Amino acid sequence: MSVEEVRFGLVGYGAWGARHAAAIEKTPAGTLAAIAAPSPESRARAEKDHPDVETYADFHGLVALEELDAIVVATPNHLHAAVVRAALQAGKHVLAEKPLANSLEEARALEELARQKERLLFVGFELRFSDLWGGVKRIVDEGEIGDPRYLLVELWRRPYRQGAGGWRYDINRVGDWILEEPVHFFDLARWYLEKLGNPVSIYARASSVQPDHPELQDNFSAILRFPQGAYAVITHTLAAFEHHQTVKVSGSRGSVWASWSGATDRDSHPTSSLRVSKGEEVTAIELKRPTGELADLEDEIARVVEAIQLGAPPAASGVDGVWSVALCEAAQESIRRGAEVSLEALGF
């Protein structure tokens, strides 16, 4: 592989797949070389948007292309595992949208396959690349607030888009709505508190505002216990308006508060803030780059290219993807039992 260029194949060309394509084309050392989309409508849109890029109806033909270095998987959730597996078996590096798979068993198998094939497996936790949410990580890691003791991640947002063919509202394809949204926040919690070690247990509750679809849990809250007495609260509602996300961390010597607000999750002109306190002194931290889902995706693609060129480990790896799926499954188990679930008992 040339270190000057990373050639991508993209599987999936829905709303988010199209964003991936645009992000790849904005990356100086990245080239979008092929797109696979099953529906004629999606392929026609891809061909219109990217007339010089070859398109495929079947992802198997795309992943077999020798000239590709990496595959981006931006399909509905239930297809992630099959596409990631085929791409790894074809010897390609992979960036898989979250969740890595719809089950822990599948996620573990994919992470193991990536190690066997000696390929890089990236998981699409783009919030890690944000100047805002990454700023929280820097503040915690540099010890500005002392030892972290409490973490809150809260999301208030409007209902989900249906997705192509209504897949996001089909439990057999989406997996569940914990895998669709809180999977991001479980990853943030582990990332922010990683110096304490991995979480040891989870207690979760959920409810639906849809009488005909109680399996689609619009409201969700969980408490993750970490070593040394620290804990994280993950909570969201998908039955509200606009899109507002908050992260708060309190430590032994201070605290940090990050917030993001927009009309939608893909608002190009959001408002955001990052503030840190030490005692009664509160300081606003200037954000150096635009923040938001679209800007974060562009930064993620650039980091994927850099990691492939340098042979560096992924910023969000297959192991991170496995952990997040595990926490989603454990949360569902806690909801079913109405009790706290030990992660050690589940093999972690």
Fold that domain 6-126+297-317 belongs to in CATH: Rossmann fold (3.40.50)
For 277-307, the pLDDT digits (tens) are 998 899 999 998 888 888 999 999 999 999 9
Domains 6-126+297-317 and 128-289+326-346 are alike in CATH topology: no
Sequence-ordered list of residues with C-beta below 8 angstroms from that of 306, at least 6 positions apart, any chain = 29, 312
In this structure, CATH architecture of domain 128-289+326-346: 2-Layer Sandwich (3.30)
For 117-148, the pLDDT digits (tens) are 999 999 999 999 999 999 999 999 999 999 99
Sequence-ordered list of residues with C-beta below 8 angstroms from that of 331, at least 6 positions apart, any chain = 178, 182, 202, 204, 220, 222, 341
For 214-273, the pLDDT digits (tens) are 999 999 999 999 999 999 999 999 999 999 999 999 999 999 999 999 999 989 899 999
Would the pLDDT of 41 be above 90?
yes
CB atoms within 10 A of CB 15: 12
Would the pLDDT of 37 be above 50?
yes
| Domains of the chain by residue range | 6-126+297-317, 128-289+326-346
Q: Where does residue 229 rank: exposed (0-12), middle (13-18), buried (19+ CB within 10 A)? A: exposed
To the question of pTM greater than 0.85 for the whole model, the response is yes
